[in-house]
Structure 1
Amino acid sequence: MSIALSLHLLAAVIWVGGMFFAYVCLRPVAATVLEPPHRLQLWAHVFVRFFSWVWASIITLIVTGHGMIALYGGFGSIGKHVHIMLAVGYVMFLLYAHLYFAPFKRLKRAVEAADWATAGNNLNQIRKIVGINLVLGLVTVVVASAGKYLL
């Protein structure tokens, strides 16, 4: 259980923390310091690296989450907060999968073709999805850590 919980928490920190850094720190600076072609190239390259970590985090979260639920005795043995965490986690995964397979793929193609207008539109879609997922991720952290006492 301690290994599963540690891996679960590390995966959540990597995903949610990465979104926080990208959205709150990197995005505003890149927007003010870099011209669109350089900014879009930066994001395309940053996402390639970060999204590899996100996929690893999602797999880890699903495997360890369901593993811990099984160790606790199944879905009937866990609290509401865990059900909420699981549901929100799957919504986050679905949003991320859409982001990865649609606007991110289009962003990469547009950057390779130097089509900055299309790349910018796709980056804006990614920004919106990351913003939603960041809020969901932060809510999940609160539910996971305090939900047992709040719900």
Structure 2
Amino acid sequence: MTPFALLYSLHVLAAVIWVGGMFFAWMILRPAAVSELQPPERLRLWAEVFRRFFQWVWLAVLVLPISGIGLWHLRFDNLAAAPRYVHVMAGLYLVMLALFLRIQLLQLPRLKRAIAAQNWPEGGATLGGIRRLVGINLLLGIVVVALASARPLL
């Protein structure tokens, strides 16, 4: 396997894990949890889901820029020579990273505190905020995937 193929494969897998996980959480798990679980159980479930999923997101957050910069250097003479869609994808990654860090560092601890205090209204409000940020990140991730998929046409 060539270095380009290895980096490209790692890059795509990291994106699939992150964006696919958000799609599953938003479109499948969330509606099922709302219809089947009461707020205390639902909040505990989400805290555990985030704990497990965010371990994979951290891996993706590290692999994406390393593999992306590697691909950038292998494919283009310099960073400025890359097509506009590559710059857009890199910029969207930074926005997605900022939203993920906001969830991980600010919102998730607040959710855990609300669960520990059995403050279900506060936990629900916090989970709603997390849901909105994940929804924004999911839309951004879909745009990045669409750009990457359309690149032969750009």
Same fold (TM over 0.5): yes
Separation (CA, whole Å) in 1 of partners of 2:129 and 2:26: 13
* Residues 110 and 116, structure 1, Cα contact 8 Å, conserved in 2: yes
- Match for 1:94 among 85, 95, 98? 98
Aligned equivalent of 2:47? 44
**Which residue type is aligned with residue 83 of structure 1?**
H
Distance in 2, Cα, partners of 1:134 & 1:9:
16
1:129 pairs with one of 105, 126, 133: 133
> Structure 1 residue 118: deviation in Å?
1.1
Segments of 4+ moved more than 3 angstroms: none
2:37 aligned with 1:34, yes or no? yes
The residue aligned with 2:59 is 56
Match of 1:66 in 2: 69
Unaligned runs of 5+ in 1: none
Superposition TM-score, scaled by structure 1 size: 0.96
Residue 139 of structure 1 is matched in structure 2 by 143
1:111 maps to what in 2?
115
Identity rate of aligned residues, in percent? 47
C-alpha contact (below 8 Å) 1:4/1:68 kept by paired residues: yes
Distance of 1:105 and 1:67 partners within structure 2? 34
Residues in 2 aligned to 1:108 and 1:137: alpha-carbon distance in whole angstroms: 26
Return 5+ residue gaps in structure 2 as ranges. Answer: none
Query: Normalization by structure 2: what TM-score?
Result: 0.94
Q: Distance in 2 between matches of 1:103 and 1:125?
A: 8
For residues 57 and 97 of structure 2, what CA distance do their matches in structure 1 show? 10
Partner of 2:6: 3
Q: How many pairs are equivalent?
A: 150
Letter aligned with residue 36 of structure 1: P
* Contact kept in structure 2, 1:81 and 1:148, CA below 8 Å: no
Query: Of the candidates 5, 8, 19, which is equivalent to residue 16 of structure 1?
Result: 19
